[in-house]
């Protein structure tokens, strides 16, 4: 099964030609920027377990903290199932990971992202300043997942 949606960003290959795993759910994390409805309309995705298909987090309501708690549980469920975790946004672009880059953080490589994400705790102001995608990346890094930049997946 291949998901073939082109997103108008500089990471446009992120959703174009994603190959699903026939024996597992492929969980997609990233930034959707107005394309979530188009992705749902493909009928190839759902929220949660979807063997051979794709799992994305639908719209969630509540405060920022409540939204993150729901998002975190959704991601932890995917991790527990052994889903393939595929990203759809560039994890080295500061603007994808951090809301307000007041200290002019710059990532030259994913190793810089790892060092940054391991430098603070989930109760810190730095964590609160992460986007939801940044928090997902933080969670995967701090669970010792390894990022494969060729396949754009995280591996346990």
pLDDT tens by residue, 97-150: 999 888 899 999 999 999 999 999 999 999 999 999 999 999 999 999 999 998
How big is the chain by its Cα radius of gyration, in Å?
15
Q: Which phi-psi region, left, alpha or beta, contains residue 108 (left: φ > 0; alpha: ψ -120 to 50)? A: alpha
For residue 19, the cross-strand partners are: 2
pTM of the full predicted structure?
A: 0.86
Count of alpha carbons within 13 angstroms of residue 50, beta-carbon side: 18
């Amino acid at each position: 099964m291949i998901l073939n949606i082109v997103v108008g960003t500089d990471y446009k290959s992120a959703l174009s030609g994603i190959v699903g795993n026939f024996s597992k759910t492929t969980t997609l994390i990233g930034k959707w920027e107005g394309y979530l409805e188009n992705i749902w309309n493909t009928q190839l995705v759902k929220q949660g377990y979807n063997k051979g298909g794709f799992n994305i987090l639908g719209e969630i309501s509540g405060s920022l903290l409540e939204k993150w708690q729901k998002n975190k549980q959704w991601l932890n469920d995917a991790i527990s199932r052994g889903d393939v975790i595929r990203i759809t946004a560039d994890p080295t672009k500061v603007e994808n990971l951090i809301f307000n880059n007041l200290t002019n953080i710059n990532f030259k490589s994913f190793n810089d992202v790892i060092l940054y994400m391991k430098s603070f705790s989930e109760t810190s102001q730095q964590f609160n300043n992460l986007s939801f995608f940044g928090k997902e990346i933080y969670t995967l890094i701090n669970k010792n997942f390894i990022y494969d930049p060729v396949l754009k997946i995280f591996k346990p």
